[in-house]
């Protein structure tokens, strides 16, 4: 059976990987053993996907990204250039902590900007937006906009990636999609 995805001749795909239809894996990337990569993903140049990582459908991974064991990205996630995940809280070269990898889940539609770092064990909510260079050290709620080091929340984002401006009733409208959102008790939901 012919594969229905593209792998550049310089990329390396280890045994036991499942790669979905329409996915493209570019120059010098390494997909390590037992990874699951969904349909229509784009894995940029010089990307490392460590053993057991799971990427949903339509995940976009830009150049020079490291996705370490313990990471799960749901559908439609965007990982910006040179961003990185960690997977151990207290790494030491001389101490093997492979049994202590922490899980990090990036929920559907979230964006992580260029050069951001996600410290392991902190989940990223649906459609959250992590600014370039941010260092995430705690869970990020759905639709939250976080920036800085350490990352702090400065607002809310629509599913189309626009900053939401809520009125006195807690309603905001995305300027592109015209979808409405409700902010109530510190939680944003799409109406």
pLDDT digits (tens, 9 = 90+) for 111-148: 999 999 999 999 999 999 999 999 999 999 999 999 99
Is there a single domain that holds both residue 53 and residue 142?
Answer: yes
128 and 190 share one domain:
no
CA distance 156 to 150: 18
116 with 172, same domain: the answer is no
Q: Give the CATH number, domain containing residue 60.
A: 2.160.10.10
- Give the sign of the dihedral formed by CA 125, CA 126, CA 128, CA 134: positive
pTM of the model: 0.95
What tens digit of pLDDT does each residue of 68-91 get? 999 999 999 999 999 999 999 999
Q: Are both 30 and 84 inside the same structural domain?
A: yes
* Whether residues 144 and 101 fall in one domain: yes
Q: Is 155 helix (H, G, I), strand (E, B) or coil?
A: strand
Domain range enclosing 4:
1-157
Average pLDDT over residues 39-59: 98
Considering the chain, what is the average pLDDT of its residues?
96
Cβ atoms within 10 Å of 59's Cβ, excluding its own: 25
Q: Rounded distance, CA 92 to CA 95, Å?
A: 5
Contacts of residue 4, Cβ cutoff 8 Å, sequence gap at least 6: 21, 22
Structure tokens at 161: 């990636």
Reduce the DSSP state of residue 183 to 3 states and report it. strand
Number of domains into which the chain is organized: 2
Residue 99 φ then ψ, to 5°:
-85, 0
Cα–Cα dist 119/88, whole Å: 8
């Amino acid at each position: 059976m012919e594969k229905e995805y593209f792998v550049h001749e310089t990329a390396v795909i280890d045994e036991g990987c499942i790669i979905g239809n329409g996915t493209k894996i570019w120059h010098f990337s390494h997909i390590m053993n037992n990874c699951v990569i969904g349909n229509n993903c784009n894995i940029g140049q010089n990307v490392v996907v460590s053993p057991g990582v799971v990427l949903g459908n339509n995940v976009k991974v830009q150049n020079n990204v490291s996705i370490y064991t313990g990471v799960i990205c749901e559908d439609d996630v965007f990982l910006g250039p040179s961003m990185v995940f960690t997977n151990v809280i207290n790494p030491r070269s001389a101490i093997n902590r492979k049994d202590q990898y922490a899980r990090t889940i990036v929920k559907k539609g979230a964006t992580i900007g260029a050069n951001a770092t996600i410290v392991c064990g902190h989940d990223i909510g649906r459609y959250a937006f992590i600014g370039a260079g941010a260092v995430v050290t705690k869970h990020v709620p759905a639709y939250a906009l976080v920036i800085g080091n350490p990352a702090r929340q400065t607002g809310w984002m629509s599913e189309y990636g626009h900053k939401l401006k809520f009125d006195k009733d807690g309603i905001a409208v995305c300027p592109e999609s015209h979808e409405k959102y409700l902010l109530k008790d510190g939680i944003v939901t799409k109406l």
